[in-house]
Structure 1
Amino acid sequence: MDSALVVGGTRFIGRHLVSELLDHDYRVTTFNRGNHDDPFADDDRVDRVEGDRTDQKALLTAKREVEPDVVFDNVAYKPREVESATEIFADVDAYVYISSGAAYAGDDVPKREGETELESCSAEEATDDSMETYGARKAAGDRVVFEAADRGVNAMSVRPPIVYGPHDYTERLAYWVDRVAEYDDVVVPGDGTNLWQRVYVEDVARGMRLVAENGTPGEAYNVGDQNAVTLDRMVDLIADAVGRDPERSYTSPRELSIVDLDPSDFPLYRGYPHLLDTSKIADLGYESTPLDEAMQRTVDSHLENGLTGEDEGPSREDEERLLDVLGTI
């Protein structure tokens, strides 16, 4: 494989994917609407085709102009978009759809490809835009990939859990970086042992490339940190990266309710464990970045860019009101 078309390619996962492909000597073209700054605008190794991925004619034009060996579909959020792409790119060497760990419906720990049940998706959900149907829509996209493979399309999917790293515009992790870096007491929902697996963004990009090069059509591959950590351990890693060790106030749902908060108000909190088995992609040569390295790069980037995640969790004023109350109990 020599030529890659990256649908997306400017913001987060796609941005790191482009870098990964360049590091492995691919000729790369991005396909996007141009609504965001292009980090590769001055890089003569990266071409760009402008267009809306929901427009079939624009996708077909991109295919004809680029004639890619492999297509990475980063921004397909509805099953009909995956249907169009697998039809248009039916003859490429590999079509890789980025799905999500949210596609899983069951409570298995860990969740395994081909074993754990996927979310169902109604016709109404398939055209929805809300986060409530995100997992269902991603699961429906997976099923489209499997059906396309049955028709002979070299289509595969990659399922990451929560993704973190430099250029993460969601700022979910940035909330915790800000709390550890700026305050002497960090409010932690529950006892800190809740487990919601995450994955470093550069590892997602590596996993996507490995699936394109070595994956089996019609298969899905989980990609995640191979050493999943609790929320408390994540705060440890941030503290090590920042060089601070603030106090932690572990809080029960009852205590949080005093100031009208709930554990789910905190980013990266999940009541029931969410863990993906990564042994299948490991068979393709995948290894995740050591956690201390991944977190150091992430923290440095968030601090350099002034990200605070202030809109992703409780306000500091509410947290301080809670700390004042707890201090009197």
Structure 2
Amino acid sequence: MTDHALVIGGTRFIGRHTVSELLSAGYEVTMFNRGTHANPFADEDRVTHVEGDRTNDSDLRRAGLDVEPDIVIDCVAYRPRDVHTAVDVFADVDAYVYVSSGSAYGADRVPKREGETPLCPCSVAEATDDTDESYGPRKAEGDRAVFSAADRGVNAMSVRPPVVYGPHDYTERFDYWIDRVDTHDRIVVPGNGSSLWQLAYVEDVARALRIVAERGSSGEAYNVGEDHAPILREWVELVAEACATDVTPVFASERELGAVGLSADAFPLYRGYPHLLDTTKLRELGWESTPHDRALRETVTEHRESERTGRESGPDRNTEVRLMEVLETVG
């Protein structure tokens, strides 16, 4: 008998790739979402769609009763309440996997390890907030909901990715760098390019979610991130290789950036303190990351076919050019 997976979400980015991963592994899949985005699996016989709002308890309970899934992958739980409701509704499934985040960690450590690095605290106000500042605390509180459910006998687990990139990435953070490298021969890179923010290729995240559902241990969290974590200037080089182009990075200090009203934080994927997740636990389940050349080849190909540029995610080109002119004058 074919196992049935319920994906909460499923049409946009991580959820979309998760559905594809589950199909490749032989599952039948039901997507539960509001239906506000185009369904990329509309012509796939093994995928059904149940429309509903996951923040509406009645909708979620109805989906649980109608679908009776073997496993549940929860891609769009953004508030702790979402997780508390889900682990109650799906208390009897073979596995419930919550998509958490590396942002759930509340201390700067290199690397961050499950069960060792402290999680963010989460106040009552943060638990119901929608701002970027409360994202990490909300994800951390969702993790704690998973741990509490596991203590009650629910086979609940979480997966913590850092920033995710790959085809169909609506955040456009990585698109910014592809667009810059693919369009211009000189680009500004903040600092000396040594910023370290580990990323995760979206197909690797989807595979991690499936593997954790099949082999993970109740009450455990699993970090997911690439085997080699390039620094920012290496990412520029790797993207240039994938684009089959040459680009010259122009490095700019915080003081130099300030001359045109910029800061390093204005650039996507810049981080002042390294963010690196230890993925030993996930690897022990048989997971491994995709080589960068393949991941970036697929990412660049889809980027070029899309209408995304990522230009709104970072400094505008005119300001960038003005900064390079200033640096040339000073030099």
What range is the shorter-chain TM-score in? over 0.9
1:63-94 alpha-carbon deviations (Å, 9 max, x no partner): 11110000010000000110000001000000
What is residue 287 of structure 1 aligned with on the other side? 288
What is residue 10 of structure 1 aligned with on the other side? 11
Cα displacement (A) at 1:43:
1.1
Query: What SS does structure 1 have at the residue aligned with 2:311?
Result: coil
Ranges in structure 2 where 5+ consecutive residues have no aligned partner: none
What is residue 214 of structure 2 aligned with on the other side? 213
Distance between the aligned counterparts of 1:275 and 1:63, measured in 2? 36
Distance between the aligned counterparts of 2:34 and 2:144, measured in 1? 27
What is residue 258 of structure 2 aligned with on the other side? 257
Q: Confirm or deny that 1:29 pairs with 2:30.
A: yes
What is residue 52 of structure 1 aligned with on the other side? 53
After superposition, residues 73-92 of structure 1 pair within 5 angstroms as: 73-92=74-93
After superposition, residues 166-181 of structure 1 pair within 5 angstroms as: 166-181=167-182
Cα displacement (A) at 1:184:
1.4
Q: What is the one-letter code of the residue matched to 1:95?
A: Y
After superposition, residues 194-273 of structure 1 pair within 5 angstroms as: 194-273=195-274
Query: What SS does structure 1 have at the residue aligned with 2:187?
Result: strand
Distance between the aligned counterparts of 2:185 and 2:229, measured in 1? 26
Q: What is the one-letter code of the residue matched to 2:158?
A: S
Q: What is the one-letter code of the residue matched to 2:114?
A: E
Cα displacement (A) at 1:306:
3.1
What is residue 136 of structure 2 aligned with on the other side? 135
What is residue 160 of structure 2 aligned with on the other side? 159
Q: What is the one-letter code of the residue matched to 1:230?
A: I
Query: What SS does structure 1 have at the residue aligned with 2:225?
Result: coil
Cα displacement (A) at 1:270:
0.3
Q: What is the one-letter code of the residue matched to 1:39?
A: P
Aligned length: 329
**What is the TM-score normalised by the length of structure 2?**
0.99
The share of aligned pairs that are identical, in percent, is 62
1:287-315 alpha-carbon deviations (Å, 9 max, x no partner): 00001111111111111113210110000
Q: Confirm or deny that 1:101 pairs with 2:92.
A: no
Query: What SS does structure 2 have at the residue aligned with 1:311?
Result: helix
Measured on the aligned residues, the alpha-carbon RMSD in Å equals 0.7
Q: What is the one-letter code of the residue matched to 1:152?
A: G
Q: What is the one-letter code of the residue matched to 2:226?
A: D
Give the 4+ runs in structure 1 shifted more than 3 A: none
**What is the TM-score normalised by the length of structure 1?**
0.99
Deviation larger for 36-45 or 270-279: 36-45
Cα displacement (A) at 1:327:
1.0
Q: What is the one-letter code of the residue matched to 2:74?
A: D
Q: Confirm or deny that 1:193 pairs with 2:171.
A: no
Cα displacement (A) at 1:46:
0.2
